[in-house]
Structure 1
Amino acid sequence: MKRSVEREKKLPAFSVSVAELELLWSRLLNLFENVENNRYYSTLNISFPSEKLAFDNIEELKQYSGIKGNVTDFSLTISQYNSLQRVYINSGYILDPHAYVRASGENEAWCAGAIEVVLSFTQNHKLWYNWLVSAPLGWYVFFLSLVPNLVLAFIPKDMKVNKLFVAAWLAIFATLSVLYFARTKILPTSVIRFSDEEGIIKKYGLEITVLCAIISIVLTIIGLFVSK
């Protein structure tokens, strides 16, 4: 009889260089037996809009010079030959962009250990906006979309809606909608950095975009209260 156990855990938003990815890859390999005899399978899959790449080991990745900038769509798989042990890291999907790690094996202890290796590593390389992408932005957008109907349903018909209230709602709704629907581009939850050759605007474009959005919300809300 063979017993298989599978565990899965969402990861915080993280960013790693190729050298840091190599360290994680090495730590995961140490979880498997007979690694020195190449009794394992590993592959890193990287996806672009018109191209897919697969690397069997970190050396192949380091020797390849065709990738510049950042990669945000990838998966890493490591498994043992003739064994149920397997670790799988995925950068997420369109509907759920959060990266996650999935471990399978013959017992819970091994799976928990494999997940802890990945989780602790990504925690140490967590992106500053992790708190934002961890928030349920989709629900925020949904409830905000109901505000106009709720306001019209409960206020007296002869009462005028404050224009600043409308402006504040539009600013917040637009900002959260952009962050939600373009989150994989604006706020990627998993990043592999291949080079740091971008200019200042491109390199810090994400931070600038989010900062401008936050400032817009704050100023609108302040204007709403000051006008009263």
Structure 2
Amino acid sequence: MVSAQQNPAEMSGGESREEILQAAAELFMEFGYAATSIDAVAQRLGATKGRIYHHYRSKADLFFDVQVAAMTRLTDQIEPIARSSGDAVERLSAMALRHTQILLKELPMQKVAVQGLERHLLEASAAAKRLRSVVKMRDDYEQMFVEVIDDGIRAGSFVDLPARLLSKPFFGALNWATVWYSQRRLQSEAAIDDIAHTLAAYALRGLLKDSNDEAARATPLFQYHLG
């Protein structure tokens, strides 16, 4: 069984496991947890059930690993920005932009992660430990944003309210894209990036003090180097 602290992509059979996770994420997104089965994942891949069961003993294990893969991807991309130098506005704007780009470009897996999993698995006592581990990954990820927001409050850049409170509508503005966004066929990377820039800038302006609003519109999202 894969631990919630392990990156599924690093386990044995890497490419095969990645394919399974992607197919499962698409099905969870399209049909929900209850209506998705191991049979359906195998059918989506054009494979046998044995291929899936070689890696996963149950649908719940597969669902957990979709969560882990999505949160690991976000954390790996966002943590270097959160820990970098630069003022809080620059860091938070870059974090928001990269977060939103990943949501839009990797929609199936990220949508499953953003929507959470408690309502599906709280009744499964055997899943409680893994559930807590995945929830902690999500909480630790959000905490990086809270800390940068707190830095901005202390610097006088963001409105003077509790940082954790401010993080809720901030994430809400970004993560709601997983509800309404659907990538169009042949939609370019540049077009997706434009949407990500717009959403990230919108979320950031909700935190800024009025005197800094104009500056935020003009610079941080476009000048901060994401690498």
Same fold, TM exceeding 0.5? no
Q: Larger strand proportion, structure 1 or 2?
A: 1
Q: TM-score, normalised by structure 1?
A: 0.31
Q: TM-score, normalised by structure 2?
A: 0.31
Which one scores higher on RCO, CA 8 angstroms, separation ≥ 6? 1
- Structure with max Cα Rg: 1
